[in-house]
Structure 1
Amino acid sequence: MPADPLHIVCPHCHTTNRLALSQLGAAPDCGKCHQPLFNAKPVELDEVAFDKHIARSQLPVLVDFWAPWCGPCRAMAPAFEQAARELEPRMRLVKVNTEAAQSLAARFNIRSIPTLALFAGGREVARQPGAMGAADIVRWARSHSTP
């Protein structure tokens, strides 16, 4: 994890906030919209918001590339939500609907869904296709992120 202060992108207004590492667990709010920076739920992102979160956040970002018509994607959604409760505030979990954001799916060469991709420092560091349970998502994400 980077040294103080961290840059954290708000899941509501997508403004970049500066936050001391020691404040991560203190339920911090966004300086602009005053909404919680963490709500223990995956954040739905479009292409513009996705790029902000990947480029500006100093937290690892775990992305679930999914589609509404995909049965395994819908089956994995509750597990991904549970993983968000366990992994935040040390990691941001986001969902990208590949039907709504087809250019993102193409840019990252998403060939099967669901696909999890972990980003750190603005780049993809790990990828895992296929549905997983919450414990497996948490274990996989932690094994590929820096402490």
Structure 2
Amino acid sequence: MTPEPLHIVCPHCHTTNRVAQDALGQAPDCGKCHRPLFEGKPVALDEAGFEKHIARSQVPVLVDFWAPWCGPCRQMAPHFEAAARELEPRMRLAKVNTEEAQALGARLQIRSIPTLALFVNGREVARQPGAMGAADIVRWARAHLPA
């Protein structure tokens, strides 16, 4: 019996795609815009994009809440990029600029930046404030995935 396909939201056009679980590692493309569903780098999300990825993606979504004026955020950015290359396609990595999505930051009670939040099946399962290196991001994210 083959496992059910996963719903994966395209980081480019935000269309929800059905992807066979065993095809995740084969660089699947979006059925609408034909661009790669995973590129080994975080996707920048506005509030609407965030809502769509969290609600519809069936892969965990690790979000870096940051701001352009934040020194530790800028310091962590290349480490978050490196973590994306290691964690994708089993996890989507995304960045939300809290200056541009202030209502979202307030609703989620983001009190300090950078803050990482891991979402699984539409709900937040873990949160970690503060800058981290790539290996720590990967280790933290994997440790908080449901069994």
Decide: shared fold, TM above 0.5. yes
* Count, aligned residues: 145
1:40-93: CA deviation from partner (whole Å, max 9, x where unpaired):
000000000100000000000000000000000000000000000000000000
1:69-122: CA deviation from partner (whole Å, max 9, x where unpaired):
000000000000000000000000000000000011001000000000000010
2:127 corresponds to which residue? 127
2:26 corresponds to which residue? 26
Asked if 1:55 corresponds to 2:55, the answer is: yes
**4+ residue runs over 4 A deviation:** none
Q: Post-superposition shift, 1:146?
A: 2.8
Q: Post-superposition shift, 1:4?
A: 1.8
1: CA distance, partners of 2:124 / 2:106 = 15
Q: Post-superposition shift, 1:27?
A: 0.5
2: CA distance, partners of 1:46 / 1:141 = 22
Give the SS at the match of 1:59.
coil
After TM superposition, the structure 1 = structure 2 runs for residues 10-21 of structure 1, keeping only pairs within 5 Å, are: 10-21=10-21
After TM superposition, the structure 1 = structure 2 runs for residues 28-107 of structure 1, keeping only pairs within 5 Å, are: 28-107=28-107
2: CA distance, partners of 1:4 / 1:69 = 43
1: CA distance, partners of 2:136 / 2:103 = 28
1: CA distance, partners of 2:111 / 2:134 = 22
Identity within the alignment, %: 79
Give the SS at the match of 1:137.
helix
Give the SS at the match of 2:37.
coil
**RMSD, matched Cα:** 0.7
Letter of the 2:50 partner, please give it.
Answer: F
